A and B are shown apart, each in its own frame.
Chain A
Amino acid sequence: MLHEHDGRRPVVMAADVMARQAGVRPGMALAHARSLIADLAAFEGNWEADEAALERLAAWCLWLCPLTSADPPDGVWCDTSGCAHLYGGEDAMLAVVRERLEALGYHIRLALADTPGAAHALARFGRERDTLVPSRGTAAALDPLPVAALRLPAETCEGLIRLGFTRIGDLRRTARAPLTRRFGDLLMHRLDEALGVRPEPIRPVIPLDAIRAQRQMVEPIGTAEALAVVIGELVDEISEILRQRGQGARQLDLVCERVDGTLQPVRVGTASPVDQPAHLRRLLQERIAVIESGFGIEVMTLTVSHHEARQTTGDQSVLERGQDGSGDLACLVDRLCNRVGASRVFRLTPRASQIPERAQAQSPVTQDAADPTSTFSFVRPIRLLDPPKPLRVEAEVESGAPQRFVWDGRTHRVRGADGPERIQGEWWLSDSEFHAARDYWIAETEHGERFWLYRQGDGTHSWTGDGAWFLHGLF
């Protein structure tokens, strides 16, 4: 529990979960709290230190997105526009944020919404621990929240509740003018900011040691060509600094400040440290389409938010070696990663497993393409049905080979079958696979099509599988 002095007496400033269960509330006199809990651990609070810590936390959040800002007393804003796909979608991004912040020991509530105001409200007053508001669903999400969620002074909230406006939805549906006359401009400003009618710029944290370049335009620019020219200049400046320091950029943030004061962030990442201006320029120019220039852009800032030392000697990455004229393959891979997300650009690498669907892994493209030394002794289809599709086998011959089966609404007669190839379950992975077995058959139908079928179980012992048939691929 933390306490502070309000001028007359020490009062409770914040309390942890256990103290709150015992009835300690912020704003309560310290003496009262001590009477509730005999061995209360009370420390003097320090707002300045808290704010400084919050600023540091906001700067720490820069790994997530280019624009972060402290939202005192207890919040951090992150403008994640155009970043979610890098983590595999918004759900996945929230999960990553939660995991990392909880690892630091914070108790957090997360909200992702179209506007800072709405996110602020939902993080504090939303029903769920993590709220994800779909695009254009802001109004619906805000309606059931209390008016206090709008960051209003306490007296305004009290006044509204006395008039019967308890929810944000009530405010949204009533006439604006009388409320403005009574409570001042702030009320409607806050409402509009939360709904996104009125832009609310956030003041981003700037890391101290960052490599950055900035251009202030004499006249606002808006066309793709003009943006490309400015990006080119910024990149030249940055890559010069990078080269002097022997560093390469791993992540770049381009922030465009519009005439109306809002900021448009763009983030690009690279697979390996890069200081080539052509490479960086290409990555950024690809993202011009996502910049909404509105009435024009006044200031553009390019920041290297993550950089690493470049390997200047020794063997370079396989992608840079340039096999048969593929010199800019690294650039292509980076561009693909920035467009679809790094986890969705991969190589297939063999993995030691007998189970066909586990016999390969997805590995990042930066890795040197391993020579497939493993020799596949059995023939495998080029594509697998994932998951295997159940299939009805109507007749089997004595050896267990399928003779007639139904697939795709048609009965197929087997004219030749090859098998069985028995694959045992990987008992070291889980108990359920301890006895499991599959019998694979290659069955050729009268039409010459070759099916890759398997039966669960060895056909005699029920504990090896239930004898159901599946189609796993075609040859």
Chain B
Amino acid sequence: MAGRTADTLALLRDEIRRMERHHAVAGMDANLPTGFTALDERLGGGLSRGRVHEFLGTGCDRALLARPTRFVAHVLARIPGQVVWLAAHHLNLHAAGLQGAGLSPGRLICVQSETRDLLPLCEDVLRERGVAALVCDLCVPLSLTASRRLQLAAESSGTTGFLLRPTPNGAVPPPSACDTRWRIGAARPVPLNSVMGLEHWRIELLRSRDGRAFTWTYGLPGHATDPLDLASPVAHGSVAASPPAGDHRDGACAA
């Protein structure tokens, strides 16, 4: 009898969760770990699943978005399932580079659409439960309403959305309803000798739900010796724990 009551309670809880649109999240981890320990700690475990996150580039990478793409690929490499990669232009992903970032190209379903169909397609894919994530090379402006729609679509299914937004003129796009906004680029290498050593990343959390901005600087093992695999503890553990000297540090608050 007691068991049956517990069952009923569990069922009711499940029902309530469904009403709150978190049913899809309920069965899985609520977060996608990024692999950067300090960052995951700050985010409470990683990027929220079933939400939309946007990524910007800086410097010469503003339009091509190589480092934000690598960041997203690292995150996706840690979860199973198929990923839909959507672009309105010629998709310039390179399979060998994806492999290097840990994401098997065989897991991607690449879609090239017309510019005007891009956002409706994004929304449609985000509503789909069969895929793990959607990545979109977003080359169109995103209005607040449109981003809200994407967010709702992602919440309804538990599919996580990653929007890669080129900013060719360097201007930060207007606010959106996305869960987090990131700017990922290079950091000035500190020991100024002419040897290629660690690859320096500057990861900025520009916006998040709790409204606090953060900046992290990471030195990652040189690409020439090690395919940048964040899953290995050496890649973030030792390096992140003893970062090269400098003023903006691991978790230094830039708000």
Q: What CA separation (Å) do A444 and B73 show in the bound complex?
A: 22
Query: Which residue on A lies nearest to B106, using beta carbons?
Result: A369
B199 contact set on A, CB distance < 8 A: 448, 450, 475
Q: What CA separation (Å) do A444 and B95 show in the bound complex?
A: 23
Q: What CA separation (Å) do A376 and B194 show in the bound complex?
A: 27
**Size range of the interface on A?**
35 or more
Q: What CA separation (Å) do A381 and B124 show in the bound complex?
A: 30
Contact of B60 among A335, A336, A474 (CB under 8 A): A474
CB distance from A366 to the nearest CB of B (A): 11
The B-contacting residues of A in range 346-380, CB under 8 angstroms, are: 346-350, 356, 359-360, 362, 365, 369-372, 376, 379-380
* Contact of B110 with A362 in the complex, beta carbons under 8 Å: yes
Q: What CA separation (Å) do A324 and B80 show in the bound complex?
A: 8
* Contact of A379 with B196 in the complex, beta carbons under 8 Å: no
The A-contacting residues of B in range 79-109, CB under 8 angstroms, are: 80-82, 84, 90, 92-101, 104-109
* Contact of B117 with A339 in the complex, beta carbons under 8 Å: yes
Please count the residue pairs between chain A and chain B whose beta carbons lie under 8 angstroms apart in the complex: 180
Q: What CA separation (Å) do A380 and B98 show in the bound complex?
A: 9
A356 contact set on B, CB distance < 8 A: 94, 96
A108 contacts B by Cβ under 8 Å: no
The A-contacting residues of B in range 198-212, CB under 8 angstroms, are: 199-200, 202
* Contact of B97 with A348 in the complex, beta carbons under 8 Å: no
Of the stretches A112-120, A185-193, A244-252, A413-421, the one at the interface is A413-421
The answer to whether residues A344 and B98 also contact, given A324-B81, A326-B81, A339-B121 and a CB cut-off of 8 A, is: no
Contact of A348 among B67, B98, B112, B200 (CB under 8 A): B98
Q: What CA separation (Å) do A473 and B94 show in the bound complex?
A: 10
* Contact of B109 with A383 in the complex, beta carbons under 8 Å: no
Classify the secondary structure of B's interface with A.
mixed
* Contact of A382 with B200 in the complex, beta carbons under 8 Å: no
A423 contacts B by Cβ under 8 Å: no
The answer to whether residues A415 and B109 also contact, given A332-B128, A332-B130 and a CB cut-off of 8 A, is: no
* Contact of B223 with A442 in the complex, beta carbons under 8 Å: yes
Q: What CA separation (Å) do A362 and B84 show in the bound complex?
A: 15
* Contact of A350 with B105 in the complex, beta carbons under 8 Å: yes
* Contact of A347 with B223 in the complex, beta carbons under 8 Å: no
Query: Which residue on B lies nearest to A327, using beta carbons?
Result: B130
A369 contact set on B, CB distance < 8 A: 106-107
Query: Which residue on A lies nearest to B227, using beta carbons?
Result: A379
A105 contacts B by Cβ under 8 Å: no
CB distance from A342 to the nearest CB of B (A): 11
A333 contact set on B, CB distance < 8 A: 109
B185 contact set on A, CB distance < 8 A: 449
Contact of B108 among A348, A444, A451, A475 (CB under 8 A): A348
CB distance from B103 to the nearest CB of A (A): 9
Query: Which residue on B lies nearest to A362, using beta carbons?
Result: B110
Contact of B94 among A365, A382, A415, A417 (CB under 8 A): A382
A408 contacts B by Cβ under 8 Å: yes
Q: What CA separation (Å) do A104 and B101 show in the bound complex?
A: 49
CB distance from B170 to the nearest CB of A (A): 11
Q: What CA separation (Å) do A359 and B129 show in the bound complex?
A: 32
B92 contact set on A, CB distance < 8 A: 383-386
Binding site for B on A (CB under 8 A): 323-329, 331-333, 335-336, 339-340, 344-350, 356, 359-360, 362, 365, 369-372, 376, 379-386, 407-408, 412, 415-418, 442, 444, 446-451, 473-475
The contact sample of 25 A-B pairs, CB cut-off 8 A, is: A323-B81, A328-B128, A328-B130, A329-B130, A331-B130, A332-B125, A332-B128, A332-B131, A336-B121, A340-B111, A344-B112, A345-B109, A348-B93, A349-B105, A359-B94, A380-B94, A380-B97, A383-B64, A416-B194, A418-B196, A442-B196, A447-B186, A448-B199, A450-B223, A474-B64
Additional A-B contact list (11), CB under 8 Å, known A415-B192, A473-B97? A345-B111, A369-B107, A383-B97, A384-B92, A416-B194, A416-B195, A417-B196, A442-B224, A448-B188, A448-B200, A475-B67
